[in-house]
Amino acid sequence: MLSPSESNDRAAALIDLARKAGADAADAIYVGQASTEVQVRLGLLEDVGRSEGESIGLRVFSGSRSASVSSSDLSPDALAQLAERGLAMAREAPEDPYAGLAPAELLFQGDPVDVEADDGGDPMPAELKLRALTAEDAARSVEGVTNSEGAGASASRSVIALATSHGFARAYTASGYGCSASVIAGSGGGMQRDYAYHSARHEIDLDDPAEIGRRAGDRAVRRLDPVKLASGQMPILFDPRVGASLLGHLIGAITGSSIARRTSFLLDALDTQVFAPGVTIRDDPHRRRGLRSKAFDGEGLPTAPTTIIDKGVLTGWLMESASARQLGLKPTGHASRGVGGAPGVSPTNLYMEPGDLSPEALMSDVVQGVYVTELIGQGVNGVTGDYSRGASGFLIVNGEIGPAVAEITIAGNLKDMFQSLTPANDLRFRRATDVPTLRVDGMMVAGA
């Protein structure tokens, strides 16, 4: 894996090769990764692996035609062939009047924000093994846990460099750590499974592995002996670890490509009340040690904190340069990409601001509802907003969490769900997308 300065040089060299071959413009991205992962099960080491790899991607333009190519061979001869092959492909590609590099005048300049993405650590496999064993031991020690699907611990480092033919060249490094456990409670046909995990940029921020294991064990045991639930319309409360998926559906509906193609259920919603007035959603690429923090996006544009939903009102679309040109707008610094293909769009550290009520207060007036802890399937229509997913969790009876429920379906339309959504006050920054406990009224529930 190359150093940041070396990766910058390699990407810039590939750009030079593309220009010498006849490309009108080009950009290149280098990605180097190294990771170690340990898996254990039932107290025994099950697998340990170390992977190291690097690859480079090139996007070349010939007029309004473009093509992308990539290689894991970074030798001079391989890069020269890559540039020539990319240009040959671009010349045969269809014309696209919106394709092109990001506007030069908008490119990132100056010193980057220090987001503390890399702690410089590289723990030995023995340390990771101990972490995984500790997590699994804690999970298996919970009364009612009868088996284990295993536990794991990982550590990784990455180097990313981006260069363009109109003068941008930057690189950054990032570290990552993870720990997880998954166990089974009960026996026979009544067995239930659940899990817990945590990820962090800095090793010091990772949850104690015993705490992760206990969460996994407690969750599995709580799911035992699910009760039947009659179908009907009722309030749904989403646990934070699954409620974040609702923000994913929002983002999918407000990307520039969805709007340009007119394939979004929020097509005409700009500057209108999409959520209740008590809902504000922000994207923060500069959060220190955030899982997706970065100073510039996948096209070299500066990132900046963004308010996507301001007191319920949708403030704008998330756009890379191509969709921005198609819509007659400016890109927003949300371009994301790998080594293959044109840039897409992605938020960074996305979150919904907390509300005023505790989760207990939020459910205090619920006569019958469901607290959802797991969602199953992909039954969401991004064009109409229709929402239908399998779920499991716990019955809410007279304002309190009751017995487990499983194999139910919850359904509604995202437009209505957003309007009736109320956030609790228990927001914690733990993932790339974070929400507090969420309450959505009026959803249909189909019982088992």
What Cα–Cα distance (Å) separates residue 217 from each residue in 147, 180, 227, 436? Answer: 10, 12, 20, 22
Same domain, 44 and 111: yes
Same domain, 408 and 318: no
Residue 379 pLDDT? 87
Residue 447 pLDDT? 83
What does the pLDDT look like over 265-321, one tens digit per residue?
Answer: 999 999 999 999 999 999 999 999 999 999 999 999 999 999 999 999 999 999 999
Same domain, 286 and 383: no
Same domain, 251 and 215: no
User: Among 351, 370, 398, where does a domain finish?
Assistant: 351
What does the pLDDT look like over 190-235, one tens digit per residue?
Answer: 999 999 999 999 999 999 999 999 999 999 999 999 999 999 999 9
* Residue 170, pLDDT above cutoff 90: yes
Same domain, 74 and 126: yes
Q: Which amino acid is at 176?
A: G
Whole-angstrom distance, CA of residue 86 vs CA of residue 29: 14
Same domain, 170 and 71: yes
When pLDDT is cut at 50, 70 and 90, the band that residue 106 belongs to is very high
Q: In what order do the strands lie in the sheet with 65-71?
A: 65-71, 44-62, 25-41, 145-164, 169-185, 192-200
Same domain, 50 and 64: yes
**What 3-state class would DSSP assign to 225?**
coil
Whole-angstrom distance, CA of residue 234 vs CA of residue 319: 36
pTM score of the predicted model: 0.95
What does the pLDDT look like over 332-344, one tens digit per residue?
Answer: 999 999 999 899 9
* Residue 448, pLDDT above cutoff 80: no
| Closest alpha carbon to 365 in 398, 343, 409 | 398
> What is the full DSSP assignment across 35-64?
EEEEEEETTEEEEEEEEEEEEEEEEEEETT
Same domain, 28 and 83: yes
Mean confidence (pLDDT) of the chain: 96
| Closest alpha carbon to 158 in 46, 81, 67, 53 | 53
Where does residue 215 rank: exposed (0-12), middle (13-18), buried (19+ CB within 10 A)?
buried
Q: How many helices (H) and strands (E) does the chain have?
A: 9, 19
Same domain, 159 and 176: yes
Tally of domains in the chain: 3
Residue 377 pLDDT? 86
Residue pair 249/270 in contact (Cβ under 8 Å)? The answer is no
* Residue 2, pLDDT above cutoff 90: no
Same domain, 143 and 291: no
Q: Which domain holds residue 301?
A: 246-351
Beta-carbon count within 10 A of 268 CB: 9
Structure tokens at 113: 């924000």
What does the pLDDT look like over 379-433, one tens digit per residue?
Answer: 899 999 999 999 999 999 999 999 999 999 999 999 999 999 999 999 999 999 9
Whole-angstrom distance, CA of residue 315 vs CA of residue 276: 14
User: Among 333, 351, 369, where does a domain finish?
Assistant: 351
Where does residue 273 rank: exposed (0-12), middle (13-18), buried (19+ CB within 10 A)?
middle
Residue 256 pLDDT? 96
Bridge partners, residue 385, by sequence: none
- DSSP state, 306? E
Same domain, 62 and 159: yes
Residue 1 pLDDT? 84
What does the pLDDT look like over 232-256, one tens digit per residue?
Answer: 999 999 999 999 999 999 999 999 9
Residues 16, 22, 24: CA angle, nearest 5 degrees: 80
Same domain, 212 and 233: no
Q: Which amino acid is at 37?
A: E
What does the pLDDT look like over 34-69, one tens digit per residue?
Answer: 999 999 999 999 999 999 999 999 999 999 999 999
Quote the percentage of the chain above a pLDDT of 70.
Answer: 100
